[in-house]
Amino acid sequence: MGSEGSSRVVVPRNFRLLEELERGEKGIGDGTVSYGMDDADDVYMQSWTGTIIGPPNTVHEGRIYQLKLFCGKEYPDQPPGVRFQSRINMSCVNYETGVVEPSHFPMLADWKRENTMEDILMQLKKEMTSPQNRKLAQPSDGNEEGRVDQKGLVVKCCIM
């Protein structure tokens, strides 16, 4: 009766995103990473917001970073687009656009269907503690520079 082949159930996109939403609303670990829907009326559940509180003993300590995650129709088979709205200087982030560059962030480059938005945020937080990022000069606190998003809108942010 037992099959030697591995058969696995593929959870449909919307069910997977509902699971992630539920987990994000409950809170993650120590509370230094969170995420949720950007627009409750987005029936395709594409636009998400994430927050990372910078890890201690790094230049990121005490900073609050806001991110946008975009889950296209191919998510979770393809990774979401990830972009920092807050200004940040990290080796895997394009300083001008805030986009997390897959070629410099292995989790996105080697995406696995099992990965989640939570995994991305936790890995970005971990990346902040890496030797190449932990001491990189950062934009000054209280930075209210606007970052132009892809729709041409200016996004204001304030790092507290």
- Note the pLDDT tens digit of each residue in 54-91: 999 999 999 999 999 999 999 999 999 999 999 999 99
Q: Is the dihedral of CA 37, 71, 114, 17 positive or negative?
A: positive
Domain boundaries, the chain: 13-129
pLDDT for 152: 45
pLDDT for 151: 47
Confidence of residue 129 (pLDDT cuts 50, 70, 90): very high
Average pLDDT, the chain: 87
- Extract long-range pairs of 45-53: CB within 8 Å, 24+ residues apart: 45/14, 45/17, 45/18, 45/21, 45/71, 46/70, 46/71, 46/72, 48/80, 48/117, 50/82, 50/117, 50/120, 50/121, 52/121, 52/124, 52/125, 52/128
pLDDT for 6: 59
Confidence of residue 5 (pLDDT cuts 50, 70, 90): low
Nearest 10 degrees: Cα torsion 98, 103, 20, 156: 0
The answer, yes or no, to whether residue 148 has pLDDT greater than 80, is no
13-129, what's its fold? Ubiquitin Conjugating Enzyme (3.10.110)
pLDDT for 26: 83
Note the pTM of the prediction, 2 decimals.
0.83
The answer, yes or no, to whether residue 150 has pLDDT greater than 50, is no
pLDDT for 57: 95
